[in-house]
Structure 1
Amino acid sequence: MNKILVMGPSWVGDMVLAQSLFKQLKIDQPDCQIDVAAPTWTLPLLERMPEVSRAIALPFKHGDLAIGERYRFGKQLATDGYTQAILLTNSLKSAILPWAANIPIRTGFKGEMRYGLINDMRPLDKAFLKKTVERFVALGRAKDAPLPHSLSLPALQADRTNLSGLMQQHSIALSDSPVLGLCPGAEYGEAKRWPVEYYAEVANAALNNGWQVWLFGSDKDRPVTSQIQQHTQQRCVDLAGKTRLGEAIDLMSACHTIISNDSGLMHVAAALDKQLIAIYGSSDPGHTPPMHPQAVIEYLGLSCSPCFERVCPLGHLNCLKHIPPSRVIAHLSLSTQIPQV
């Protein structure tokens, strides 16, 4: 049996996309065991991926090289019998642990002088492997093997038994009304955030048509969700900063439709098979699109985009401001009444 250790990415969205690799590994090698080493905050995602046998929490601080700590941690895994390591990040530090664990085959893309640490080095042709998900899946295949005809879609398994308790905890009333989830934050920066007043206009349209509106995000997104609440007379359920990632996943599973910036929660929504409207500004939907065939992508493709900047370098943010709320509202079937729980 092939026992594979995957060095997982740190970003929530990238970890969701990594499930396409895990699913393809199970197709190509049905008997393989997949363990994933990743930062602690991504583990709730791995718990909802049935392909993953074991999630290993990495104890290192984000950004720290910590060569000695990584070496010692790798030595602890040396007796676990891994036959291959697949590195989904291109950093030098991510290659130390599999090398220290003496894993026979260590697969990764060329990057950051990792010669010797990686012995199955792959060149990265960004023109051919345009999408992050394609790059992940390619690392799980034999060198020079083509990508599969169609990629397996991420599919998170929400804990539905946990949902009722969460709704009670957050004082959410049971209702036959459909739920609109809004994810108005973006960890990367304001150049990926659709204006708060636009989100509020969409929220008001849904609320006025009998929908519930739930606001998702981290503690850092609370100023944004608080503004939406002000514009909607406090009629939304504001969950920003009040849920751990696993809880947010379970609550999002009760939504009918989700509107999101290009963020980790956007990829979560796609992997939960939600009706999704994804709004792109400074980033490129050709590089990290939501992995859902019916996802609606709003992207203007202006001459200045994608710039991949955290803050608009031209100061106008036209890539987002020129996507009007009416355009997004038009994608909603506001008369729909679908029981959710």
Structure 2
Amino acid sequence: MTEPLLRRLRARGERLTVAALPWVAPVYRAMPQVDAVIELPFRHGGLQLRERRTLGRQLRGQFENAYVLPNSLKSALLPLLAAIPRRVGYLGEARVGLLTHRLKNPKDKPPMVAFYSALSGEPGVESDRPALALPDAQVGEVLQRHGLARGAYVVMAPGAEYGPAKRWPHFGALAAQLDRAVVLLGSAKEAAECEVIRAQAPGQVRNLAGQTSLAEAFGLIAGAGHVVSNDSGLMHVAAAFGVPQIALFGSSSPLHTPPLNARAQVLWLKQDPDYQPPLDCSPCFQRECPLGHFRCLQDLDAARVRALL
């Protein structure tokens, strides 16, 4: 979702260095417009001022502009400590003194791509197009390692870090209906959940959750015939590679975080005029269903998804 902003900045001649935590750094290394990636040595939680001061001193004099994408206070500290003269970001968490150019946070939830792209100071959003690229040889090496043929398997990403209200419960039923190999991807925390899915179609499903690096997962997604996922990080990775995908939405909204992919098919019962009674509660953006019925994903059956594959 940040890639259109980076594409816009590069098009106007800016040389781009992205500072990112290690778990997301491979995403930016796969973006052609990014010149360099700095892996941030910070842990989750806490300001860690000593570490930020040390890195800030190392970076002084290297940059003219800083675009601060997260809304947190600590994310705006490093550009200040690095004495970057122009620091652009949204207001929030008492950041007035940390940023030189401040945008007001919109009241409603805008599409995240537009939210990030506005930091460029230019109107509009670039059109959808593949945003990540891997050499064919790298993809081929990953597929050979796992004994897979390009386009002959389906990747499923059943996890969603945000919570249960974003996780479709019928991945196992869908896998059992397919006549193709299925590869399950996700984090180590999702391995047990993926094993339950694998058990429903053990002959054709391979559970690789927690067993791949992010770069290896990229190769498996780039080589897939289809990707089926919840509204998650891997959904956006599939969109960025431009592979055929089915994106399943429940408590969240494709108007806010859509897959930017002309080959994506979005299923969201909220937008289905034939679904009754209407989902007036959606999108709630909650981690768990506050009403307890979970209709938004429970009623989206496997046969409906299977018809799109």
The TM-score bracket by the shorter chain reads over 0.9
Q: Which deviations, in whole Å up to 9, do the C-alpha atoms of 1:241-273 show, x marking residues without a partner?
A: 110111000111110111100100000001111
Confirm or deny that 1:50 pairs with 2:54: no
Instruction: Verify the 8 A CA contact 2:242 2:263 in the aligned structure 1.
Output: no
Give the counterpart letter for 1:190 in structure 2: P
Give the counterpart letter for 1:200 in structure 2: G
Alignment-derived partner of residue 98 in structure 1: 79
1:68 Cα offset (Å): 3.0
Instruction: Verify the 8 A CA contact 2:66 2:84 in the aligned structure 1.
Output: yes
Structure 1 unaligned spans of 5+: 1-16, 333-341
Instruction: Verify the 8 A CA contact 1:20 1:154 in the aligned structure 2.
Output: no
Q: Measure, in 1, the Cα distance between the counterparts of 2:143 and 2:263.
A: 28
Instruction: Verify the 8 A CA contact 1:204 1:232 in the aligned structure 2.
Output: yes
Alignment of 1:129-140 (within 5 A): 130-140=110-120
Confirm or deny that 1:180 pairs with 2:154: yes
Instruction: Verify the 8 A CA contact 2:129 2:242 in the aligned structure 1.
Output: no
Confirm or deny that 1:19 pairs with 2:3: yes
Instruction: State the SS of the aligned residue for 2:8.
Output: helix
- Structure 1 residue ranges, 4+ long, deviating more than 6 angstroms after superposition: none
Q: Measure, in 2, the Cα distance between the counterparts of 1:154 and 1:114.
A: 34
Q: Measure, in 2, the Cα distance between the counterparts of 1:308 and 1:317.
A: 12
Alignment of 1:161-200 (within 5 A): 161-170=137-146, 172-174=147-149, 178-195=152-169, 198-200=170-172
Confirm or deny that 1:309 pairs with 2:286: yes
Alignment-derived partner of residue 281 in structure 1: 250
Confirm or deny that 1:329 pairs with 2:303: no
Q: Measure, in 2, the Cα distance between the counterparts of 1:88 and 1:158.
A: 25
Structure 2 unaligned spans of 5+: 271-278
Confirm or deny that 1:292 pairs with 2:274: no
Instruction: State the SS of the aligned residue for 2:178.
Output: helix
TM-aligned CA distance change 1:63 to 1:257, over 3 Å: same
Q: Measure, in 2, the Cα distance between the counterparts of 1:156 and 1:63.
A: 29
Instruction: State the SS of the aligned residue for 1:107.
Output: strand
1:126 Cα offset (Å): 4.2
Task: State, as a whole percentage, how many aligned pairs show the same letter.
Answer: 40
TM-aligned CA distance change 1:66 to 1:177, over 3 Å: closer
1:228 Cα offset (Å): 1.3
Instruction: State the SS of the aligned residue for 2:44.
Output: coil
Q: Give the aligned CA root-mean-square deviation in angstroms.
A: 1.7
Alignment-derived partner of residue 5 in structure 1: none
| Match for residue 176 of structure 2 among 204, 208, 217 | 204
- Alignment length, in residue pairs? 301
Alignment-derived partner of residue 67 in structure 2: 86
